[in-house]
Chains A and B, each alone.
Chain A
Amino acid sequence: AQKVTQAQTEISVVEKEDVTLDCVYETRDTTYYLFWYKQPPSGELVFLIRRNSFDEQNEISGRYSWNFQKSTSSFNFTITASQVVDSAVYFCALIPVGYGNKLVFGAGTILRVKS
């Protein structure tokens, strides 16, 4: 079965704090892709990153970083020095290669950054 679990339903932080959003996935496929999407209050879904199962290098993009660990089936997302504009719902998603190109989404984590 393909499944993505985002155990944190909601996180509140104060501006400039670092915050990590957890994502755990399940798949029997050895080849798969992992994604993070952001849904700001305006409602659109914004693509943030894609990772394939053979690339375990961590990635950093500005204040965003991603930690992919196959050993624990996790793909966590850290925002450094959070800002109010980071307030959004963040979704982790999975595409197992044997499943076509259908995104399997987690339930999402609501991030509230207070000034």
Chain B
Amino acid sequence: DSGVTQTPKHLITATGQRVTLRCSPRSGDLSVYWYQQSLDQGLQFLIQYYNGEERAKGNILERFSAQQFPDLHSELNLSSLELGDSALYFCASSVSPTPGQPQHFGDGTRLSIL
């Protein structure tokens, strides 16, 4: 158990809909990361937060947004969903955003778009 909690584990929805994925980092970790794992793109970094502030962005679509709340949990919002958004979405956390800090991953949320 990594200590990172992601909910829900599975999500099935339709094209055009909006969903929110939730992540609680390990106790003591201040930095949260979101990654997408898909068959065609592999594991890709989406966005990073540190202590409530956006720290870095990767290949995140404009239809996707995220935030980190004062209690350090984070939410990833995906809107106007398309079939290609079907993927496993991971949240990870680390103590700080310092490069090289090991990131510990949650179990992921599997999103299926019908």
A contact residues vs B (CB 8 Å cutoff)? 33, 35, 37, 42-47, 50, 52, 91, 95-97, 99-108
- With beta carbons under 8 angstroms apart, the residue of B2, B31, B100 that contacts A44 is B2
Known: A91-B43, A105-B43, A107-B42. A100 touches B99 (CB 8 A): yes
Chain A residues near B44 (CB-CB < 8 A): 105
Known: A46-B2, A101-B48. A52 touches B107 (CB 8 A): no
Known: A101-B97, A107-B42. A44 touches B56 (CB 8 A): no
Residues of chain B at interface, number, CB under 8 A: 29
Chain A residues near B103 (CB-CB < 8 A): 47, 101, 103
- With beta carbons under 8 angstroms apart, the residue of B2, B90, B98, B105 that contacts A101 is B98
Q: Is B106 an interface residue (CB 8 A)?
A: yes
User: Does more than half of chain B's interface fall in helix, strand or loop, or is it mixed?
Assistant: strand
**0 or 1 for each of B94-112: is its CB under 8 Å from A? (1 = yes):** 1001111111111110100
A50 and B90 alpha carbons, distance in the complex (Å): 19
Closest to B101 in A: A101
A8 and B42 alpha carbons, distance in the complex (Å): 15
Once the chains bind, are B35 and A103 in contact (CB under 8 Å)?
yes
Chain A nearest Cβ from B63, distance in angstroms: 21
**0 or 1 for each of B73-96: is its CB under 8 Å from A? (1 = yes):** 000000000000000101010100
